[in-house]
Amino acid sequence: MLTPQQVTVGRLLEAPAGAPEFVVDVIAGRQGLSRTVRSPHVQKTGLALAGFHEYIRAGRVLVFGESEVRFLESRSHADRLDITRRLLEHDIPCILSTAGLRPVDELVDACDVSGVPLLVTPTSTGTAIAAITARLEEHLAERVSLHGTLVDLLGLGVLILGESGIGKSECALDLIARGHHRLVADDVVDVRRRAESSLEGTAPEAARFFMEVRGVGVIDVQALFGVSAVIASKAIGLVVQLDRWDPTLDYERLGLDERWHTLLGVRVPLVRMPVAPGRSVATLVEVAARHQLLKARGYHPARALVDRIADMQRAETERGE
């Protein structure tokens, strides 16, 4: 289920854990902190203040730098009233004034009346835009929750998918017990898109580092194996789809053709792994991860084998001539 891409102004002002300090004061429109921001992009308002209101994009934070503040200060009282009235007719979640600059009283009063939060930060414009954009990207990243298991195998995030009861958790537990792989999430994996081509997976807060193992029950992986056996989040670099063995299907033998799994618009390498009695799924998943790491470094074993055979055949032909 996709998470709606919006965040309230009030929540946006809450500092995420580990984030650099970003001081913001609400000087007007506090009753509008429940207004929602729907875009990770901010906008400057220079053209809008000059009358080009078509450049205002709904749902975006408006940033006032020194040029916008000084422009309003240079206008007459009547012009200020008209400009602020026209500005606040648009769907503006909040206005952020940077460098400690307090906007003109007409804008302060209008924001109080209309319920548009007016924020002031002592941070310079460029730094403030970078800070607020980072928070917006954190809150507004596209998200989806999946039924699966995510493990960190040798630094590669491997998302294991498959029908219920096929052995995803048991596979992950076997890998973790080997001592050099880590659990990220089991049963439910929360995935969010970071940037244009990166996916990050984590576990829901309440279930973090817990696993359900049939026949044993719920286990705490961190308590059983130590802090080195778990990690809070991981970029997803490979998807392994576990399928029940079907003798009528022709499974991949060489691996020349690349397969992909598309998630939130991002393509991730895919391996379809048939599960059958006698096959060590954990070992096969680990081999798939090592194989993917080799390919990421530029070595493709299947292509190397085909090239070697072609070279041998070419040499045989030349000797025959």
CATH number of 143-304: 3.40.50.300
Question: Which two three-digit tokens encode residue 33?
Answer: 């902190």
Interior/surface letters 286-321, b for 16+ CB within 10 angstroms, e for the rest:
bebbebbbebeeeebeeeeeeeeeeeeeeeeeeeee
Model confidence pLDDT, tens digit, residues 141-166: 888 999 999 999 999 999 999 998 89
Cα torsion 255, 257, 263, 265: sign: positive
The catalytic position among 60, 139, 168, 193 is 168
Write down the pLDDT at residue 1. 45
Alpha helices for 191-255 (secondary structure H) = 221-225
The catalytic position among 214, 250, 253, 297 is 253
Identify whether 168 is a catalytic site residue: yes
Model confidence pLDDT, tens digit, residues 215-256: 888 999 999 999 999 999 999 999 999 999 888 877 777 777
Domain residue ranges in the chain:
7-140, 143-304
Provide CB contacts within 8 A for 47, sequence distance 6+. Answer: 55
Question: Which two three-digit tokens encode residue 46?
Answer: 């220079």
Provide CB contacts within 8 A for 210, sequence distance 6+. Answer: 186, 218, 219, 220, 221
Q: Is the pTM of this model over 0.85?
A: no
The catalytic position among 147, 290, 303, 314 is 147
Model confidence pLDDT, tens digit, residues 60-91: 999 999 988 998 999 999 999 998 998 899 89
In angstroms, rounded to a whole number, what is the distance separating the alpha carbons of residues 238 and 270? 6
Write down the pLDDT at residue 53. 67
7-140 placed in CATH 3.40.1390.20: yes
Identify whether 295 is a catalytic site residue: no
The catalytic position among 91, 187, 194, 259 is 187
Model confidence pLDDT, tens digit, residues 181-196: 999 999 999 999 887 7
In angstroms, rounded to a whole number, what is the distance separating the alpha carbons of residues 145 and 318? 58
